[in-house]
């Protein structure tokens, strides 16, 4: 784990990259910020978490880090020990954790619940939606208080790296650590009043097959009876209306993604 600090004194804000070693977009954002050496109003901690998996270009070495929190310093698995170290680094920090996905090209935010931090920060981020995952957060970093995850875009793409940087800048502006891009002062990042919020309800199982295809679009309503995917050409149809989230043909081994319901918007 590599840790950088901007400013002096105890860190109040943190950005975490490379929780998964095959998602380098956050590392580019961290390196870009470190190189810029910006003047900060609040001390910021920048963390490159799983350096070993990043170097090996794999998601993890022994255990999924984002299913290993709170961790154990005496565990046999590298990522379980690392989870304990990382969580200790983040005590007292409002935290942004940067990820990427195979299912959606634009940034969206993921939270455990719509707490005061999510409501205050998320409207100021350049995201398409906020996903509440409280039923599916066991072992994930977003169980840590005051933590927001960002899916920055398609895994391994230049666009995801660029998105990660600008989302990070917006997060640091929204938390009062940096000026908003283009401003000389620490100001409000420019809020939005129409960020839709979805809550995950269930997993979408993926049957055994050689080839998969998806037809539904993430965050767009699928009606009952609609074909949303195929497995070896056999259509899969919705039993009831839902909003798909993280829907992808090959993103997960045993599921297409998640069934979600739209629960409102952050205003």
Tens of pLDDT along the chain (267 residues) come to: 999 999 999 999 999 999 999 999 999 999 999 999 999 999 999 999 999 999 999 999 999 999 999 999 999 999 999 999 999 999 999 999 999 999 999 999 999 988 888 888 998 999 999 999 998 999 999 988 899 999 999 999 999 999 999 999 999 999 999 987 665 544 444 445 578 999 999 999 999 999 999 999 999 999 999 999 999 999 999 999 999 999 999 888 899 999 999 999 886
Sign of CA dihedral 146, 151, 156, 159: negative
What is the structure's pLDDT at 186? 46
Diameter of the chain measured on Cα atoms:
59
DSSP 7-58: SSSS--EEEEE-SSTT-THHHHHHHHHHHH----SS-EEEEE--HHHHHHTS
What is the structure's pLDDT at 150? 97
Q: What is the pTM of this model?
A: 0.92
- Say if residues 198 and 263 touch (Cβ distance below 8 Å): yes
Q: In Å, what is the CA distance from 197 to each residue of 31, 221, 263?
A: 31, 13, 6
What is the structure's pLDDT at 188? 44
CA distance 242 to 244: 6
What is the structure's pLDDT at 189? 43
Give every strand in the sheet of 227-231, ordered side by side.
212-214, 227-231, 234-237
């Amino acid at each position: 784990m590599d840790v950088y600090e901007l400013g002096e004194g105890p860190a109040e804000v943190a950005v975490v990259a490379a929780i998964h070693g095959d998602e380098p977009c956050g590392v580019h954002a961290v390196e870009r910020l470190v190189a810029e050496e910006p003047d900060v109003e609040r001390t910021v901690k920048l963390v490159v978490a799983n350096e070993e998996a990043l170097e090996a270009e794999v998601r993890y070495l022994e255990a999924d880090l984002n299913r290993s929190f709170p961790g154990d310093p005496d565990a046999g698995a590298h990522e379980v020990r690392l989870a304990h170290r990382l969580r200790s680094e983040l005590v007292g920090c409002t935290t942004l954790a940067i990820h990427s996905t195979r299912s959606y090209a634009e940034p969206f935010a993921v939270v455990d619940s719509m707490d005061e931090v999510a409501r205050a920060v998320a409207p100021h981020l350049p995201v398409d939606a906020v996903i509440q995952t409280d039923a599916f957060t066991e072992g994930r970093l977003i169980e840590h208080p005051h933590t927001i995850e960002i899916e920055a875009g398609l895994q391994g793409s230049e666009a995801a790296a660029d998105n990660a940087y600008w989302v990070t800048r917006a997060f640091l502006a929204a938390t009062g650590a940096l000026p908003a891009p283009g401003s000389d002062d620490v100001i409000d990042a420019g809020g939005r009043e129409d960020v839709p919020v979805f809550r995950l309800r269930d997993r979408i199982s993926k049957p055994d097959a050689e080839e998969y295809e998806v037809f539904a679009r993430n965050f767009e309503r699928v009606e009952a009876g609609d074909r949303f995917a195929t497995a070896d050409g056999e259509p899969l149809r919705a039993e009831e209306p839902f909003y798909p989230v993280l829907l992808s043909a090959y993103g997960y081994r045993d599921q297409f993604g998640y069934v979600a319901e739209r629960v409102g918007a952050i205003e």
